[in-house]
């Protein structure tokens, strides 16, 4: 493959680590890794020539204007998850970065949004823009403004579903640390029946997909909006898979209806914002055309609940236990 000059923002994040590591080890592309704090970047940047660590902040992206004009591929993983600067970083500065790229030279921008802004028809979900938390609202807003940019025809937007990942040398995603904790309550959870479904995808699998897209940008007749996720999974199937892994039998199941859930919320005075309540009612965050490494004939690292548990350090129990 022809060597490309690639910018990765958010390189010290969970997905950024997996992606940076894959591109360092498996390609000869010239890499520019943008991070606020280089000490948090735990990949071997001395492994080969052509790796440059840029210390900087998305809020000061204009300082890199000259470099941005020379970039062939920009992978934008940097995200503010909340706080006063959420909209400034996720919308204003992200759009500014894209506008500083040279549309004639830059072959592709891979922009990380979130599947939370899409409905089951893979079209923008209006509630995300109306009542979403700031992170979701900002991604919804940016999604609607990208088409106005000169670089828009070259933007590939990826929408990760539930992201897993993290190791001793990589930061954990928001949900990964809770997986082993949840299994401690399986003796109760196994008797519940829940109407809901979802997708997940591991950071390593995201890196595999993005690496493929860097060398194989979508063609003119192909979609540039890609939901990243393994095959959809119902909550009930996930519970069954966990029980099978831990050797737990399911003797009966009690349906956890919305009305019962609302009673529990009221009794225990659980505080829920409008977006959380919407998600509880929406229940099925699934997408017909979700992609993962297997879509491109590449191996998956984490495709099943058993994979999730194993990678999370949960040991399978004796299959004879109840």
Does residue 296 belong to any structural domain of this protein? no
Residue 269: pLDDT over 80:
no
pLDDT band at 270 (very low <50, low <70, confident <90, very high): confident
Instruction: Specify whether 121 is located in the same domain as 195.
Output: no
Three-state DSSP state, 136: helix
Residue 1: pLDDT over 80:
no
What residues have CB less than 8 Å from 25, skipping those under 6 apart?
47
Instruction: Specify whether 187 is located in the same domain as 142.
Output: no
Does residue 295 belong to any structural domain of this protein? no
pLDDT band at 320 (very low <50, low <70, confident <90, very high): very low
Does residue 119 belong to any structural domain of this protein? yes
pLDDT in tens, 34-59: 999 999 999 999 999 999 999 999 99
- Collect contacts of 276-282 with beta carbons under 8 A, ≥24 apart: 278/127, 278/131, 282/127
Does residue 316 belong to any structural domain of this protein? no
Residue 131: pLDDT over 70:
yes
For residues 72-82, one letter each, b for 16 or more C-beta atoms within 10 angstroms of the residue's C-beta and e for the rest, the string is: bbbbbbbbbee
Instruction: Specify whether 244 is located in the same domain as 274.
Output: yes
pLDDT band at 318 (very low <50, low <70, confident <90, very high): low
Instruction: Specify whether 208 is located in the same domain as 241.
Output: no
Instruction: Specify whether 185 is located in the same domain as 64.
Output: no
What residues have CB less than 8 Å from 259, skipping those under 6 apart?
none
pLDDT in tens, 223-244: 999 999 999 999 999 999 999 9
Instruction: Specify whether 156 is located in the same domain as 271.
Output: no
Contact criterion met (CB below 8 Å) for 194 and 262: no
Instruction: Specify whether 266 is located in the same domain as 208.
Output: no
What residues have CB less than 8 Å from 274, skipping those under 6 apart?
131
For β-strands 162-164 and 200-202, DSSP reports them as parallel
Instruction: Specify whether 28 is located in the same domain as 162.
Output: yes
Q: Where are the alpha helices (DSSP H) in 185-247?
A: 186-189, 203-215, 235-246
pLDDT in tens, 170-188: 999 999 988 988 898 999 9
* Domain count for the chain: 2
Instruction: Specify whether 162 is located in the same domain as 278.
Output: no
Three-state DSSP state, 107: coil
Does residue 294 belong to any structural domain of this protein? no
More confident residue, 265 or 311: 311
In whole angstroms, give the CA distance from residue 208 to residue 18.
9
> Residue 43 sits in which domain range?
5-167+200-228
Instruction: Specify whether 34 is located in the same domain as 155.
Output: yes
Instruction: Specify whether 187 is located in the same domain as 275.
Output: yes
Does residue 252 belong to any structural domain of this protein? yes
Instruction: Specify whether 111 is located in the same domain as 12.
Output: yes
CATH of the domain at 60: 3.40.50.720
């Amino acid at each position: 493959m022809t060597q490309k000059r690639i910018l990765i923002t958010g390189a010290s994040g969970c997905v950024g680590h997996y992606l940076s590591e894959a591109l360092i080890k498996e390609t000869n592309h010239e890499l520019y890794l943008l991070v606020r704090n280089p000490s948090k970047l735990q990949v071997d940047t001395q492994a080969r020539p052509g790796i440059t660590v840029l210390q900087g902040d998305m809020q000061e992206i204009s300082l890199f204007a000259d470099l941005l004009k020379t970039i062939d591929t920009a992978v934008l993983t940097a995200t503010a998850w909340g706080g006063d600067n959420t909209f400034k970083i996720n919308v204003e500065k992200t759009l500014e970065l894209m506008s500083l790229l040279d549309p004639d030279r830059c072959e592709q921008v891979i922009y990380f949004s979130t599947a939370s802004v899409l409905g089951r028809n893979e079209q923008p979900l209006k509630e995300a823009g109306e009542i979403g938390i700031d992170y979701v609202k900002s991604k919804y807003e940016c999604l609607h403004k990208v088409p106005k940019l000169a670089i828009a025809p070259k933007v590939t937007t990826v929408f990760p579903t539930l992201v897993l990942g993290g190791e001793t040398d990589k930061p954990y995603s928001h949900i990964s640390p809770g997986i082993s904790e949840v299994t401690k309550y399986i003796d109760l959870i196994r008797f519940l029946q829940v109407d809901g479904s979802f997708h997940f995808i591991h950071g390593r699998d995201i890196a595999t997909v993005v690496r493929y897209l860097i060398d194989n940008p979508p063609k003119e007749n192909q979609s540039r909006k890609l939901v990243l996720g393994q095959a959809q999974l119902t909550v009930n199937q996930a519970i069954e898979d966990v029980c099978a892994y831990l050797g737990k039998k399911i003797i009966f199941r009690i349906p956890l209806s919305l009305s019962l859930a609302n009673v529990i919320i009221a009794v225990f005075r659980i505080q829920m914002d409008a977006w959380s309540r919407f998600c509880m009612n929406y229940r099925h965050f699934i997408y017909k055309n979700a992609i993962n490494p297997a879509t491109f004939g590449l191996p998956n690292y984490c495709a099943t609940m058993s994979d999730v548990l194993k990678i999370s350090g949960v040991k399978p129990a004796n299959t004879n236990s109840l």
